[in-house]
Amino acid sequence: MSLKAIATPTRTKEILAKYGFSFKKSLGQNFIIDVNVLKNIIETAEIDQQTGVMEIGPGMGALTEQLALYSNHVVAFEIDQRLTPILEETLNPYQNISIVYQDVLQADVANIIATHFSPEQDVKVVANLPYYVTTPILMRLLMDRLPISSITVMIQKEVADRMAARPNTKSYGSLSIAVQYYTEAKVALNVPKTVFMPQPNVDSAVLHLQIRTTPLVKVNDESFFFDLVQASFAQRRKTLRNNLSRHFSEQYTKEELENKMLQAGIDGTRRGESLSIQEFANLANVFV
């Protein structure tokens, strides 16, 4: 198919002009205008002709088009109805694309996956995510335990670094733990702001999340585990003892908390950022 790719500055400008489309800041719309970047994303996601792909925020269809060329079927969620006529034109040559005009955070994603893909098909999420909803979307996809094998997303570099961070680093925090509990996370490549139209104010990165078949650690109560983790990072410069005493002041005395930490073999003078995910799990399991 020798069509001119959507992801070029010229073609993007032509489409914008033809439809009089204006970017909505509130939707975090930044379209990719570099085909090589898109191919790198697809390579990172390890997509082939059998793969089912779920995309979020296709925009004008730049990534969608490349996904359609390399995969079996693409289902894309688009929240902005103004893009309907554009997507109908740009993606018209491809028979293996379904566009769902819904907010992915409101949609019944499991049902949509069941409708569009066969039960034994390998389904992956690949997207250029709007910065402002990156975390809610990723956490929703992970916590719903959808039948997907991996997530490869272009997101703000700082957020990608936080999601893939290791203990004892500046970026490591409750978000790192939440993401790594469900996935193996790695930053695959950094992307300059020049490959977008309009250019965002920050650099981006492609984050690859390989979904674990079982969570990284065994916890007795997931919601308590995440609550404890969040409390431990409430004030990064404070010790674990201080953060936990503040958060659990109504449930436990300082002595009781001290005993729990002792039981888990954790020194209360440490800071949250020094604890591994396994140590957090051990501590949470002493409580419940």
- Determine whether the annotation assigns residue 79 to a binding site: no
Among the candidates 183, 211, 239, a domain finishes at 211
Q: Which of 163, 112, 170 shows the shortest CA–CA distance to 142? A: 163
Q: Are strands 52-56 and 123-128 parallel, antiparallel or unpaired?
A: parallel
- Residue 268 CB partners (closer than 8 Å, separation 6+): 239, 240, 241, 244, 257, 258, 261
In terms of domains, do 33 and 150 share one? yes
- Expressed as residue numbers, the domain containing 131 is 9-211
pLDDT, tens digit (0-9, with 9 covering 90-100), for 112-140: 999 999 999 999 999 999 888 999 999 99
- Determine whether the annotation assigns residue 242 to a binding site: no
Tell me 269's DSSP state: T
In this structure, the chain runs to a length of 288
Position 136 in a domain: yes
What are the beta bridge partners of residue 175?
Answer: none
- pLDDT in single tens digits along all 288 residues of the chain: 446 899 999 999 999 999 999 887 777 788 999 999 999 999 999 999 999 999 999 999 999 999 999 999 999 999 999 999 999 999 999 999 999 999 999 999 999 999 999 999 999 999 999 888 999 999 999 999 999 999 999 999 999 999 999 999 999 999 999 999 999 999 999 999 999 998 998 999 999 999 999 999 999 999 999 999 999 999 999 999 999 999 999 999 999 999 999 999 999 999 999 999 999 999 999 999
SS3 of residue 157 by DSSP:
helix
Number of domains in the chain: 2
User: How far apart are the C-alpha atoms of 112 and 109, rounded to whole Å?
Assistant: 5
User: How far apart are the C-alpha atoms of 158 and 108, rounded to whole Å?
Assistant: 30
Position 216 in a domain: no
In terms of domains, do 33 and 140 share one? yes
Cβ atoms < 10 Å from Cβ of 119: 7
- Determine whether the annotation assigns residue 52 to a binding site: no
Q: Are strands 73-77 and 97-100 parallel, antiparallel or unpaired?
A: parallel
In terms of domains, do 56 and 136 share one? yes
Dihedral sign of CA atoms 169, 170, 174, 180 in order: negative
Backbone angles phi, psi at 208, to 5 degrees: -110, 125
Helix 222-232 and helix 277-287: axis angle, to 10°?
Answer: 120
Q: Which of 128, 117, 102, 114 shows the shortest CA–CA distance to 44? A: 128
In terms of domains, do 66 and 28 share one? yes
- Determine whether the annotation assigns residue 30 to a binding site: yes
In terms of domains, do 257 and 206 share one? no
CATH assignment of the domain containing 272: 1.10.8.100
- Determine whether the annotation assigns residue 259 to a binding site: no
CATH assignment of the domain containing 112: 3.40.50.150
- Determine whether the annotation assigns residue 266 to a binding site: no
Among the candidates 211, 242, 276, a domain finishes at 211
Position 4 in a domain: no
Tokens in use for 60? Answer: 């004008």
In terms of domains, do 192 and 104 share one? yes
Q: How far is CA 82 from CA 64, 86, 172, in A?
A: 17, 8, 39
Backbone angles phi, psi at 272, to 5 degrees: -50, -40
Position 67 in a domain: yes
In terms of domains, do 109 and 172 share one? yes
Is residue 92 within 8 A of residue 164, CB to CB? The reply is: no
pTM (two decimals): 0.94
In terms of domains, do 201 and 240 share one? no
Rg, Å, the chain Cα set? 21
In terms of domains, do 30 and 173 share one? yes
In terms of domains, do 87 and 195 share one? yes
Position 3 in a domain: no
